[in-house]
Amino acid sequence: MRFRHPDGSLVHLAYCTNVHPAEDLDGVIAQLDGCSALVRKELDVPVLGVGLWLAHQLAEQLANSSDALHRLQQALLRNGLEVVTLNGFPYAGFHDEVVGKKVYLPDWTQPERLHYTRNLVDVLARLLPADAAYGSISTLPLAWRTPWSADQDTLARAAVSRLEMHLARTEESTGRRIRVAFEPEPGCVIELVPQGAEWLSPYAAGGRIGLCLDTCHLAVQFEEPASAFADLDRAGVPVVKSQVSAALHVADPGDAEARRLLAEFAEPKFLHQTRERGGRGIDNLDELDQLAGADAWRVHFHVPVHAAPRPPLSSTTDVLEESLAELVGGAHPRTQHLESETYTWSVLPSSPRDTAELAEGIAGELAWLRSRITALGLETL
């Protein structure tokens, strides 16, 4: 969906297609013709944004085959879809039976990560709508936190510097500005927004490298949006893109019903890092006995923003709404790219039964986000 900010800027809202399992071109096109088309119909909008997830082999194919890219462009065109952003975090296998920490590989010390991201840059430069101010690609926060040494940090910085040069060459040769956004996540080298601000500050001047603010991750860490944005401002680091999502919130970990309902979210596919306010953190829900339970818990489980969990569980939509006000509610938008990224539909306690039900859920999230965005003074286009 598209919005006009009062300052005249075009703001884009998309849903991320990493919720869909296909990793080849035929499968991705089938998803666009199927679920994505149904979402646009449900919302009754002229253009629906999709934040494409392209696994590394498909990114390679699209970057090097005009025929393959044309097929993808035609599928987007016939379904009224636009692409201004890509999710370059998962490399492949995001719908394996168990994903876990594999999602952080290859990391930014490994040449495969740079090669993959360069391919995504080349693809997005050719998919980007003519009136989009820039394209964005979100990527992982360097690596999982351990092991991480000074030598690894040096390797990662060298890779990001080469990426920055590729972005500059792409802009010069195509006239399209592509920007890459590093996404802080619990348990990773860049876990908190201040860490992201510090690590990314050397690249701030160029404007092509910045931060992807995931409001679920922000909430899990009990970070305050105003403080996080102030840290970015001080470092001069831009918010290139924001994933507007919500985490699980457990107000009273001692509540037996809350613990019973939380157990329904414990599943083996994805990591569900959990943090206790003012206390320690754990890497998954099977480690809850390591938490004191003296204060509230937040869980890295992306829950639908428009449908609250069963009480006494709740979600962090308050953090999302406060962040949205900072992102697009001011005199000028901090970012022009918003992406709904609830990739966990298939592992929810009550998951959609078919494509139609999934499309209805995705449309419900986007409609909820649309109502909050327009309440901030933006006009739906």
- Provide the pLDDT for residue 295: 97
For the beta carbon of residue 20, count every other beta carbon within 10 angstroms.
Answer: 25
Q: Are 118 and 64 in contact (CB under 8 A)?
A: no
pTM of this structure:
0.97
- Who contacts 290 (Cβ-Cβ below 8 Å, separation ≥6)? 280, 282
Mean pLDDT calculated for residue range 290-299: 96
Band (pLDDT 50/70/90 cuts) for residue 336 is very high
Mean pLDDT calculated for residue range 338-351: 96
Band (pLDDT 50/70/90 cuts) for residue 114 is very high
- Provide the pLDDT for residue 252: 97
Band (pLDDT 50/70/90 cuts) for residue 111 is very high
- Provide the pLDDT for residue 359: 98
For the beta carbon of residue 43, count every other beta carbon within 10 angstroms.
Answer: 17
Q: Are 298 and 219 in contact (CB under 8 A)?
A: yes
The C-alpha atoms of residue 214 and residue 246 are separated, in whole angstroms, by 9
Backbone angles phi, psi at 147, to 5 degrees: -80, 150
Band (pLDDT 50/70/90 cuts) for residue 80 is very high
Decide: helix, strand or coil at residue 175: coil
**What are the pLDDT digits (tens) for 208-254?**
999 999 999 999 999 999 999 999 999 999 999 999 999 999 999 99
Q: Are 214 and 184 in contact (CB under 8 A)?
A: yes
DSSP letters of 137-164?
A: EEE-SSSBSSS--HHHHHHHHHHHHHHH
Mean pLDDT calculated for residue range 181-191: 98
Band (pLDDT 50/70/90 cuts) for residue 154 is very high
Q: 355: part of which helix (H) or strand (E)?
A: helix 355-375
Mean pLDDT calculated for residue range 53-77: 98
- Provide the pLDDT for residue 251: 98
Helix %, strand %, coil % for the chain, to 5? 45, 20, 35
Q: Are 103 and 52 in contact (CB under 8 A)?
A: no
Percent of all residues in the chain with a pLDDT value above 90, rounded to a whole number: 99
- Provide the pLDDT for residue 117: 98
- Provide the pLDDT for residue 375: 98
Q: Which residues of 318-348 are buried (b: 16+ CB within 10 A; e: fewer)?
A: ebbbbbbebbbbeeebbbbbbbbbbbbbebb
- Amino acid letter, 268: P
Decide: helix, strand or coil at residue 15: strand
Band (pLDDT 50/70/90 cuts) for residue 124 is very high
**What are the pLDDT digits (tens) for 362-371?**
999 999 999 9
Quick one: tokens of 314? Answer: 């709740």
Mean pLDDT calculated for residue range 80-101: 97
Of 95, 86, 83, 96, the C-alpha closest to 59 is 86
Band (pLDDT 50/70/90 cuts) for residue 176 is very high
The C-alpha atoms of residue 40 and residue 80 are separated, in whole angstroms, by 8
